[in-house]
Amino acid sequence: MGRGDKKSRRGKIANRSFGARRPRKIKKRPTVEDKIGLKKKK
């Protein structure tokens, strides 16, 4: 298991791919309220 192994994390990094072992970072999208500048009611 190492760089050549497609199932391991190192192998995913070497192969430049993503999967269950190496998930992509989720970009948090701004909400509509944040875009127009409204304060949320609590």
Percent of the chain with pLDDT over 70: 90
What is the per-residue pLDDT for 30? 80
Q: What mean pLDDT do residues 6-35 have? A: 87
Q: What mean pLDDT do residues 31-41 have? A: 74
What is the per-residue pLDDT for 40? 62
What is the Cα–Cα distance from 38 to 20, expressed in whole angstroms? 37
Residue 21 has pLDDT above 80, yes or no: yes
Residue with the larger pLDDT of the pair 37 and 4: 4
Locate 25 and state its tokens.
Answer: 């970072």
